[in-house]
């Protein structure tokens, strides 16, 4: 069996296995690599492939920890730029996206425009909740702002059923937000992963929705995720800025 090299990176605790290949690995192997007790342990597997379109440096294929495929991953893209060590244009299923390393060492990536959907009212766990549908190239449902002391409790109770609510046939990422003096508190229940320390597209969707709800104002919003702060630049094209850190290199058998 072939021995393959990988690198482990994290963006604010949102961690990934990064590898280079000619084709994506299979979903079962991705699940095994993400398993935290018998594998490497990660929120997802990022495979760098030859680009499909002119002008791109790499194509990015993304597996969530459960083996499902994600169109886009903001923190994953930031980790890819850190892995490459330079500015790059990356071919994703959400389009061509650019990234660069800032002078302070943080990594900035563009996510393209936010696309606002419906303001939905849903019944879950015996209560009615209202939130805004936002696409960042992948789906998000951002609930109306809560009090800071209610965020954690609501996320645990409502995150899993909302991810799989009938209104979201392809499932959705779910964001719980609260206004604080030092920024926008954001907790994300990620589609195909569960609770994560951080989510780049989730932070961006939360900032976009929070502006619609009238609790923040751009052009820059500091989001406060469990893994640390991430800055969201609002505008026609959304960008996110935060650290991305190498954890270790290694090898595994399976490709």
Residue ranges of domains in the chain, CATH in brackets:
3-110+243-253 (3.10.310.10), 115-235 (3.10.310.10)
Catalytic residue among 17, 73, 133, 198: 73
Percent of the chain having pLDDT more than 70? 99
Compute the average pLDDT of residues 218-225: 97
Q: Could you tell me which of 63, 76, 142 has the C-alpha nearest to residue 109?
A: 76
Percent of the chain having pLDDT more than 90? 97
Residue 196 pLDDT > 70, yes or no?
Answer: yes
Compute the average pLDDT of residues 193-206: 98
Asked if 131 and 119 touch (Cβ cutoff 8 Å), the reply is: yes
pLDDT in tens, 24-70: 999 999 999 999 999 999 999 999 999 999 999 999 999 999 999 99
Asked if 74 and 92 touch (Cβ cutoff 8 Å), the reply is: no
Residue linked to tokens 């954890």: 247
3-state secondary structure labels for all residues of the chain: CCEEEEEEEEECCEEEEEEECCCCCCHHHHHHHHCCCCCCCCCEEEEEECCCCCCCCEEEEEEECCCCEECCCHHHHHHHHHHHCCCEEEEECCEEEEEEECCCCCEEEEEECCEEEEEEEEEECCEEEEEEEEECCCEEEEECCCCHHHHHHHHHHHHHHHHCCCCCCCCCEEEEEEEECCEEEEEEEECCCEECCCCHHHHHHHHHHHHHHCCCCCCEEEEEECCEEEEEECCCCEEEEECCEEEEEEEEECC
Tokens of 154: 């609501």
Tokens of 94: 């959400």
Active site residue 199: yes
Residue 1 pLDDT > 60, yes or no?
Answer: no
Active site residue 79: no
User: For residue 20, how many other CB atoms are within 10 A of its CB?
Assistant: 15
Report residue 3's pLDDT band, with 50, 70 and 90 as the boundaries. Answer: confident
pLDDT in tens, 151-189: 999 999 999 999 999 999 999 999 999 999 999 999 999
Question: What pTM did the predictor assign?
Answer: 0.96
Asked if 111 and 141 touch (Cβ cutoff 8 Å), the reply is: no
Catalytic residue among 81, 151, 199, 221: 199
Tokens of 241: 């800025």
Q: Could you tell me which of 112, 81, 28 has the C-alpha nearest to residue 242?
A: 81
Report residue 255's pLDDT band, with 50, 70 and 90 as the boundaries. Answer: low
Report residue 253's pLDDT band, with 50, 70 and 90 as the boundaries. Answer: confident
Compute the average pLDDT of residues 2-25: 95
């Amino acid at each position: 069996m072939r021995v393959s090299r990988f690198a482990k990176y994290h963006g604010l605790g949102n961690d990934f296995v990064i590898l280079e290949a000619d084709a994506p690995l299979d979903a079962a192997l991705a699940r095994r690599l993400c398993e935290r007790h018998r594998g490497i342990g990660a929120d997802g597997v990022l495979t760098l492939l030859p680009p499909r379109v002119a002008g791109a440096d790499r194509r990015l294929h993304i597996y969530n920890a459960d083996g499902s495929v994600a169109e886009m991953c903001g923190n994953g893209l930031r980790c890819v730029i850190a892995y490459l060590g330079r500015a790059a244009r990356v071919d994703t299923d959400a389009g061509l996206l650019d990234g660069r390393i800032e002078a302070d060492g943080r990594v900035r990536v563009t996510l393209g425009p936010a696309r606002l959907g419906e303001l939905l009212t849903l019944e879950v766990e015996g209560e009615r909740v209202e939130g805004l549908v936002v696409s960042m190239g992948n789906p998000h449902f951002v609930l109306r702002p809560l009090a800071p002391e209610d965020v954690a409790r609501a996320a645990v109770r409502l995150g899993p059923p909302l991810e799989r609510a009938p209104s979201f046939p392809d499932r959705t990422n779910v964001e719980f937000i609260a206004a604080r003096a030092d920024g926008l508190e954001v907790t994300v229940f990620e589609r195909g992963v569960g609770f994560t320390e951080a989510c780049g597209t989730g932070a961006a969707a939360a900032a976009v929705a929070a502006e619609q709800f009238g609790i923040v104002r751009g052009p820059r919003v500091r989001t406060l995720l469990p893994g640390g702060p991430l800055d969201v630049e609002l505008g026609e094209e959304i960008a996110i800025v935060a650290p991305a850190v190498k954890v270790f290199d290694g090898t595994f058998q399976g490709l």
